Homo-oligomer: A and B are copies of this chain.
Amino acid sequence: MEEKTDLTETIQKLEKIYSGSYMDVEKQFLRLPDGREAVREIVHVRNAVAVLPILSSGDVVLVRQYRPAIQKTILEIPAGLLDDGEDEESAAKRECEEETGYRPKKLQRLLHYAHAEGYSTGWITLFVATDFEQTGQISLDNTEHLEPVQMSFTELQNLVLQNEIVDSKTILSAILAEKWLGL
């Protein structure tokens, strides 16, 4: 790699635009390394975890969920936001159980990524889960409405190949589980 220039932008001023239940929005007035000034609008959200549950049969468990932001019902892996002070593994186990009724005993960390690096503070950590206690304890948030869908891993891979899976966490976990874990 070439010599690394310092590209860091420095915050001159912050302006709070909105403080909501899911997100805060702020305007950052920045100074660029070359002295120019810029304004960026930044969304603050909690970090999230997402889990691809692979049962001993080889089947995976996804959830169907309506996503108002994109006005679509999509098929995706179980996921959710970290609670206050909660570590990622605990959150991953909790979310997987709450949305599918399967509580993972074993998690493998796949990836940690920024899902909207241009304007959001949010990171997602992806796991593959194997070895479950089937508690059947599906427990959704007050306003959550989703349903679990079980299918073969091959079927999921075909849906990814056809671009019928449209969210980054599900596409990435399916592809990386195959590529890195040989699943």
Residues of A within 8 A of B (CB): 1-2, 4-9, 11, 17-18, 20-23, 25, 27-28, 30, 32-34, 36-43, 45, 48, 64-70, 73-74, 76, 111-123, 142-143, 145-147, 149, 151, 161, 163, 166-168, 171-172, 175-176, 179-180
When chains A and B are docked, how far (Å) is the Cα of A2 from the Cα of B155?
A: 13
In the complex, are the beta carbons of A147 and B7 less than 8 A apart?
Answer: yes
A-side interface mostly: mixed
Partner of A119, one of B22, B111, B113: B22
From known contacts A7-B73, A67-B118, infer whether A25 and B18 are also in contact, taking CB-CB under 8 Å: yes
Contacts of A143 in B (CB 8 A): 32, 36-39
